[in-house]
Copies of this chain bind each other. A is one copy, B any other.
């Protein structure tokens, strides 16, 4: 239920900030310091938006996080399309993991993955946020599993290939890469880990 096009109000004082820019800054703040451990004061400072304006524009802290999370994750349908490009599932997922490594080690962004690290644990109040993050992980897992299954059906992987398990492994490795990136691992190391994790597939290649 999103408004189509820019809001063309007729009257009233205009917004003093760009909503998209402010959301981007909020995303970076959550990325750097997590959901519960980033205070609203941190957010207003990072976004250059006063608290009342923040609440008017985004609802509350949780809704702001969920919107920032959506912006970070992007359109998961696009991920599925991207995975369909390369000729084999292994190449597709290797490319995906290489992109992930670059993303986790960007020089202008915090290390690691916002989705992996923002709410690993937390209070009872943060349960909806953890649920949303878990749901996104399941979505990625399912997309990866479908890509693997496509190769199985096309005869490029053995019929007994455990697509679900390999997809789970891909998600697990992504979470692990995020942790290691936060610990300071360099791109070369992370690329090597990603590549090594895909050697599990050798067993099933026909």
Contacts and interface: CB of A to CB of B under 8 A. Distances in A.
Interface of A: 32-34, 36-37, 116-118, 120-123, 126, 130, 134, 137-138, 162, 164-166, 168-169, 171-180, 182-185, 189, 192-193, 196-200, 202-203
Contacts of A185: 168
Given A117-B121, A162-B192, A168-B185, 11 more contacts: A37-B121, A117-B120, A162-B196, A168-B189, A169-B197, A171-B180, A172-B172, A172-B176, A172-B179, A175-B176, A199-B199
Given A116-B179, A172-B180, A183-B138, A203 B193 contact: no
B176 A134 contact: no
Contacts of A169: 173, 176, 193, 196-197
A199 B173 CA distance: 14
Contacts of A137: 179-180, 183
26 contacts: A33-B122, A36-B36, A37-B121, A37-B122, A116-B179, A118-B120, A120-B120, A120-B179, A121-B182, A130-B182, A134-B183, A165-B196, A168-B185, A168-B193, A169-B173, A169-B176, A171-B176, A171-B180, A172-B179, A173-B173, A173-B176, A175-B179, A175-B180, A196-B200, A199-B203, A202-B203
Nearest to A31: B121
Contacts of A174: 176
Copies in the assembly, this chain: 2
B200 A199 contact: yes
A122 B34 contact: yes
B34 A121 contact: yes
B173 A172 contact: yes
6 nearest CB pairs, A to B? A172-B176, A34-B121, A120-B120, A117-B120, A199-B200, A175-B176
Given A165-B193, A202-B203, A116 B120 contact: yes
Nearest to A33: B121
